[in-house]
Amino acid sequence: MQGILLINLGSPDDTELSSIKSYLKEFLMDEYVIDIPKLVRNVLVKGLIVPFRSKGTQEAYTSIWTDEGSPLILNSIKTAKKLQARLGIPVECAMRYKNPSIELALRTLSEKGCKKIKVIPLYPHYAMATSLTTELEVKRVENELGFGLQLDFISSFYNDNGYINSLSSKIDEHLNPSIDYLLFSYHGIPERHVTKTDPTNSHCLKEKNCCEVDSLAKPFCYRAQVLETSRLCASKLQLDESKWGVSFQSRIGPGWLKPFSDIELKELPKRGKKNIAVVCPAFIADNLETLEEMDIRGRETFMEAGGESFTYIPCLNSDDSFIDFLSSI
């Protein structure tokens, strides 16, 4: 029998400081997230980032936490339940970091008699810090368990018609004639991550228009994929080129993909774009980066810079149109 495993990135178990620190350590110690020598990473994460950022991260999570728990986990589990009801086969949800764990999900699917597992990481765009690390971890856990499960991975779906239709429909629900600009804000990654996943070692970020040129690198290029998602949605929505743009949020330090979302939010009012809508397509389920970083802090940044209205467009979460898409793949 076939089963399905949906995987998202993860969240602390609760908003206690100890849980925040534990989550940050597990997440940031991943060599595919902070790709520097282990000894240096250990000093950076455990000696600097966790001690000095945990309190602020705790406050951020507290601002978006619900009575039931983490929005990311709740929405991901709801998606799994709706997909299972639609398909009539076992569907489990797991997180790359923390709980519910990949091990528990694989055990549960195996106990239900599933031998073939379709693994769907809920990241539309390929990146080493999401897609790659998740695939490697699922394989490691399955090998350790020794269940002999046949794993079939869906690596990315950034340009699938079903996904584009679902995302475009979600955006369209929140657009109105007063909105003069749509910002596609994606999670940022270091430029070196883009070049590291380039199998040709000679294409990504080597030329100004590299993302517009067909290449063997595209299936592994986060930047090219987010630009195509945005272009396809804008075309579907019949938006003029002057009415939309792309930016990258959540940067940590120099050398990350540009333009930066926080800078764009400050500059847009100066360019006459005072009534905007923002969507975050890198995320399927609403989470800290969408609800706190964008809908709270991003909104403040824009309004303080002279903006007049800010419309946050929620993630797809467990929308029926997204369940339709998942069913199709």
Which pLDDT tens digit goes with each residue over 278-297?
999 999 999 999 999 999 99
Ranking 8-17, 18-27, 86-95, 252-261 by mean pLDDT, the lowest is 252-261
Type of residue numbered 152:
D
Helix (H), strand (E) counts: the chain: 12, 8
At 181 the three-state DSSP class reads strand
At 245 the three-state DSSP class reads strand
Cβ atoms within 10 Å, residue 140: 11
Q: Based on the number of CB atoms within 10 Å of its own CB, is 22 exposed (0-12), middle (13-18) or buried (19 or more)?
A: middle
Q: Cα–Cα distances in Å, from 125 out to 226, 227, 243, 263, 300?
A: 7, 10, 23, 23, 28
- Residue 90 CA to residue 83 CA, distance in Å, equals 9
**Is residue 171 within 8 Å of 311, Cβ to Cβ?**
no
Could you give the domains of the chain? Answer: 2-156 (3.40.50.1400), 161-319 (3.40.50.1400)
- When the pLDDT of each residue in the chain is averaged and rounded to a whole number, the result is 97
pTM of structure: 0.96
pLDDT for 229 beyond 80: yes
Instruction: Find the mean pLDDT for residues 202-228.
Output: 93
Cβ-proximal residues to 44 (8 Å cutoff; 6+ apart), any chain: 34, 36
Confidence of residue 305 (pLDDT cuts 50, 70, 90): very high
Type of residue numbered 126:
Y
Q: Cα–Cα distances in Å, from 229 out to 4, 26, 64, 137, 314?
A: 25, 30, 27, 27, 17
